């Protein structure tokens, strides 16, 4: 196949990966804006390299004309979660979406691969709009925890190094490392609620501070400087107490004060 043809075949897959990464990152943003814990920690995407596609076609005896149907992971997105429990949440989020249709699922958490590999895979149909019109294509979504990702990244590099012929002693050490990763995920899950609480509080605090500062900034146009300085001092005092409840109370009070000033400004205009 000519290089030019590869480019035009892979171009819609580039678009699909970019769109999917934006969409999954948007879930993180939505959660942050609403002070909700995000089941997604990080999103990565890639289009499979031509050499990797060719290698897979040779290994699986796939003819060129069936490449797009048979190679399901030309577009690949990886979703990294903090905890194993988050993986199920992300899977149901994807299943419920109207812009992605699940073709198949592989649960390597329940059926751990012999190498020790753990991850949840979904093959989806996704439609992109190109200059030639809509194109429905397939994409693979891998969902795993940070710990699983750490192991898989290293194991993948070693597989590449040994070209599928990994020495027994290396495979054995990787298998032991996979057990340790599994234990780590379980251990982290046992303190999940505490970690989530801490992260939610920190996100809540940062959203409150953002709101309060915006409110104070707006007051500069309406209130006198002395009053604003007093509010600022009070904000700093409350902030340094590190007490979220006090910060919430201050936020509510500031809202009432701002509302009063806004009403006064409207009355003056009339």
Neighbouring residues of 122: CB distance < 8 A, sequence distance ≥ 6: 91, 94, 102, 104, 105, 140, 141, 143
Position among 7, 103, 156, 237 found at the interface with ligand 0O2 (CB under 6 A) = 156
- 19 carries an active-site annotation: no
Give the residue among 86, 44, 99 at the shortest CA–CA distance from 188.
86
**95 C-beta neighbours (distance < 10 Å), count:** 13
Give the residue among 73, 148, 89, 63 at the shortest CA–CA distance from 113.
148
Helices (H) and strands (E) in the chain, counts: 9, 5
Position among 97, 113, 186, 249 found at the interface with ligand 0O2 (CB under 6 A) = 113
Q: 32: helix, coil or strand? A: helix
* Residue 106 interacts with ligand 0O2 (CB under 6 A): yes or no: yes
Please name the helix (run of DSSP H) or strand (run of DSSP E) that holds residue 102, with its range, or none: strand 100-107
C-beta closer to ligand 0O2: residue 45 or 76:
76
Find the part of the chain contacting ligand 0O2 (CB under 6 A) among 22-30, 109-117, 196-204, 257-265. 109-117
* Residue 152 interacts with ligand 0O2 (CB under 6 A): yes or no: yes
Report the C-alpha gap between 178 and 159 in whole angstroms. 15
C-beta closer to ligand 0O2: residue 111 or 242:
111
Q: Which of residues 118-137 bind ligand 0O2 (CB under 6 A)?
A: 121
Give the residue among 236, 267, 265, 264 at the shortest CA–CA distance from 250.
236
Position among 24, 40, 47, 48 found at the interface with ligand 0O2 (CB under 6 A) = 48
Classify burial at 250, counting beta carbons within 10 Å of its beta carbon; exposed 0-12, middle 13-18, buried 19 or more: buried
Find the part of the chain contacting ligand 0O2 (CB under 6 A) among 7-15, 23-31, 148-156, 210-218. 148-156
Q: Residue 81 CB, nearest distance to ligand 0O2 (Å)?
A: 16
C-beta closer to ligand 0O2: residue 54 or 184:
54
Tokens of 208: 């409150």
Choice among 72, 140, 227, 234 that is catalytic: 140
Give the residue among 144, 137, 131, 171 at the shortest CA–CA distance from 155.
171
Report the C-alpha gap between 75 and 48 in whole angstroms. 6
Find the part of the chain contacting ligand 0O2 (CB under 6 A) among 23-31, 149-157, 194-202, 212-220. 149-157
Which residue is closest to ligand 0O2 by CB?
117
Position among 23, 27, 52, 150 found at the interface with ligand 0O2 (CB under 6 A) = 52
C-beta closer to ligand 0O2: residue 158 or 208:
158
Report the C-alpha gap between 30 and 45 in whole angstroms. 20
| Number of residues counted as binding ligand 0O2 (CB under 6 A) | 13
**Under the rule (CB under 6 A), what is the footprint of ligand 0O2?**
48, 52, 56, 73, 76, 106, 113, 115, 117, 121, 152, 155-156
Active site residues: 140
């Amino acid at each position: 196949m000519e290089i030019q043809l590869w480019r035009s075949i892979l171009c819609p897959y580039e678009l699909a990966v970019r769109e999917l990464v934006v969409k999954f990152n948007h879930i993180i943003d939505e959660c942050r804006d609403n002070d909700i814990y995000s089941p997604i920690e990080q999103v990565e995407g890639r289009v499979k390299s031509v050499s990797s596609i060719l290698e897979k076609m040779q290994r699986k005896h796939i003819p060129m004309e069936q490449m797009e149907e048979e190679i399901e992971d030309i577009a690949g997105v990886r979703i990294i979660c903090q905890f194993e429990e988050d993986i199920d949440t992300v899977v149901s989020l994807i299943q419920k979406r109207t812009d992605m249709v699940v073709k198949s699922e592989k649960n390597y958490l329940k059926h751990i691969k012999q190498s020790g590999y753990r991850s949840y895979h979904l093959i989806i149909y996704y439609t992109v709009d190109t200059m030639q019109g809509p194109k429905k294509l397939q994409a693979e979504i891998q969902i795993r925890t940070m710990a699983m990702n750490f192991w898989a990244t290293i194991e993948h590099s070693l597989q590449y190094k040994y070209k599928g012929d990994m020495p027994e002693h290396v495979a054995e050490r990787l298998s032991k490392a996979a057990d340790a990763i599994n234990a780590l995920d379980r251990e982290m899950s046992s303190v999940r609620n505490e970690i989530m609480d801490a992260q939610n509080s920190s996100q809540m605090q940062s959203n409150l501070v953002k709101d309060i500062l915006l409110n104070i900034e707006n007051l500069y146009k309406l209130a006198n400087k002395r009053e604003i300085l007093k509010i600022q001092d009070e904000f700093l005092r409350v902030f340094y107490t590190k007490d979220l409840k006090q910060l919430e109370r201050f936020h509510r009070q500031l809202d009432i004060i701002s509302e009063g000033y806004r009403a006064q400004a409207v009355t003056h205009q009339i």
